[in-house]
Chains A and B, each alone.
Chain A
Amino acid sequence: MAQMVKKKRRAERTDLWVHIFFILFGAICLIPFITVISASFSTEADLAEYGFSILPREWDFTAYAYLFENPSVIIKAYVVTIFITAVGTFLGVLFMSMVAYSISNRNFVLRKALNWYLFFPTLFSGGLTSSYIVNTRYLGLTDSIWALILPGLIGVFSVFMMRTFFQQIPDSLFEAAKMDGASEYMIYFKIAIPLSKPVLATVAFATALGKWNSWYSAMLYIRDPDKVPLQYLLQKMMKNIEYLLSEMEHVPGGVDLSQIPGENLRMAMLVVAIGPMMCFFPFFQKYFVKGMTIGSVKG
């Protein structure tokens, strides 16, 4: 008996090598981030002399001083990103759940046809070039904020995920509402939506993450510096740091003029751009995990 208890306890404990594996893997995941943060707190001279490192040689806030002395570039980019994320997520979840509700309904005569209509673009697409010509020439999306929101808003697998979820709601609930004379709008809004919060949250976070991280549409359609979202600003800065410096007229007080920031400013910009999201994200991890495991998303 004692032996069995002992055995059981051993089985419950995690082996040491497993912990070591994950600690090493975690280090590989985190060290690059730490390097970036450290670089943003280094002096340009140290970076030029000694390169990047895990800890700064000498703590220095010049890069951040530059950023916060000239906040308009970042604030503008943040406003654009927050706008496209908020509006994109709201409209995306609304439109996707609406169409998902309609195709989850067995009484809907166009159900099959609509399923295929939604799915077909997964099979065949017109490609980048014709999308680009259509959007710029015929839909007038050049320099429009809607170019960052509307294309790709309807994710077919998210729609199918919601549809599957709606279909699992007991029919009796819908029937009862119907008996009471509720319209389809009412049923969608008062029954389907409130009962589907987990799947709505999963889709909402996935959409929000996608919009927050989006840069591709901006690269194609945005030329106006006032409509540049964060990720696209970062991308432009990767290509040339002067882009940001040229937008910054004010030199912060008490800064040695020979120490014009370069790499450290670039990295500080990255920290400011992704930092808040990184702190935010662990709290919503479960929704992303759920999205991976929620099940059937068939066409």
Chain B
Amino acid sequence: MKTRLKRKKIKHLKDNLQLLSLAMPAVILLALFSYLPMFGIVLAFKNYKVPKGIWGSPWAGLENFRFFLESQDAWRVTRNTLGLNFMFIIAGTVGAVIFALIMYEVKKARHVKLYQTVSILPHFISWVAVSYIVYALLDPTKGIINRVIEIFGGEGVSWYSEPKYWPVILLIVSLWHSVGYGSIIYYASLMGMDSGLMEAAEIDGATKLQRVWHVAIPHLVPIVIIKVILGIGGIFNADFGMFYNVTRDVGALYPTTDVIDTYVYRALMQQGNIGMSSAVGLIQSIVCTITLVLTNAVVKKISPENTLF
């Protein structure tokens, strides 16, 4: 009896060691590429000197933070990041829900598949490729948009030097890129809805719009809330690929398109200002953590099964 217990214990230990070894590659990769850089945040408090490395460089106190916070850039990049992301979250969600509701009206599976394939096509190309497409539309002399404007007798706009249009341009590009893909989750939820509800409403004489408003939309509300809250949780992280490529990193557009991520990138790679870029990055990381934890707490209140952690 005793030996059997012992054998069981050994087996348990052996199993655990094997499971640990299965986990090791992922553990090591995360240690190198996620956890090691977390210690690199001390850079924000250092005056980094290349030959001395991270630890050997002298301390700079809060100098790096002061430099950023006292510049005019701080307000600009924060406003752009929050404002544009907020706009993308709201418009993206509304667009995806409407798209899914219309998709729900398509009755033949074959048609659904065709429309879905075409509408998620833009999601499958990189932001670099998107920047080519936007360029083909907006180039001041050759772009299609200006040519259409000229055909109707208007005057072409030099899009790449007019920052005021870019919040709208970026919104349209963002919707083009994500609405079809984003609608899948809502469409799937509608398909899972008890179709008897819609039929009952129809028998009771509800018009199509009434049915959508009183049956379909309430059905989607829980997912919408979760999606929006999670979006808000990530509101301080901008999609670098979009902001960097689609604007072609044109300086004239910075007033409305420069976000924290592009700012940090330029401070690091173009100005070589390692201290400041890591200080800004650290502020961003901390604020992100706080928003994520807060939004998660909110979700926990509203619908515990949808929390992130």
Contacts and interface: CB of A to CB of B under 8 A. Distances in A.
Interface of A: 11-15, 18-19, 21-22, 25-26, 28-30, 32-33, 35-36, 39, 47-48, 50-53, 94-96, 98-99, 101-103, 105, 107-110, 114, 117-119, 121-135, 137-139, 150-154, 159, 183-185, 188, 209, 213-216, 220, 231-232, 234-235, 238-239, 263, 266-267, 270, 273-274, 277-278, 281-282, 285, 288-289, 292-293, 298-299
Contact of A107 (B15, B126, B137, B147): B15
Nearest to B132: A270
B interface SS class? helix
A15 B105 contact: yes
Nearest to B107: A14
Contacts of B144: 35, 51-53
A292 B184 contact: yes
A119 B18 CA distance: 22
Given A124-B38, A127-B284, A152 B33 contact: yes
Contacts of A274: 125-126, 129
B281 A130 contact: yes
B268 A107 contact: no
Contacts of A33: 121, 133
Contacts of B181: 288, 292
A289 B285 contact: no
Contacts of A234: 126, 128-129, 132
B214 interface: no
Interface size class of B (residues with CB under 8 A): 35 or more
Given A51-B143, A123-B289, A134-B40, A292 B188 contact: yes
B37 A216 contact: no
A183 B292 CA distance: 40
Contacts of A30: 118, 121
B32 interface: yes
Interface in B1-55: 12, 14-16, 18-20, 22-23, 25-27, 29-30, 32-41, 43, 48, 53-54
Contacts of B81: none
A36 B289 contact: no
Given A18-B105, A216-B240, A126 B285 contact: yes
Given A154-B29, A235-B245, A121 B35 contact: yes
Contacts of B25: 94-95, 98-99
16 contacts: A18-B102, A22-B119, A29-B118, A29-B121, A51-B139, A127-B278, A131-B40, A133-B54, A137-B54, A152-B33, A234-B129, A270-B132, A282-B117, A285-B113, A288-B181, A293-B185
B141 interface: yes
Nearest to B274: A129
A12 B43 contact: no
Contact of B264 (A51, A108, A128, A281): A128
Nearest to B156: A51
Contact of A119 (B33, B117, B309): B309
The 9 A-B pairs of least Cβ separation, nearest first, read A130-B40, A127-B281, A126-B37, A299-B309, A213-B126, A51-B142, A99-B26, A129-B278, A184-B18
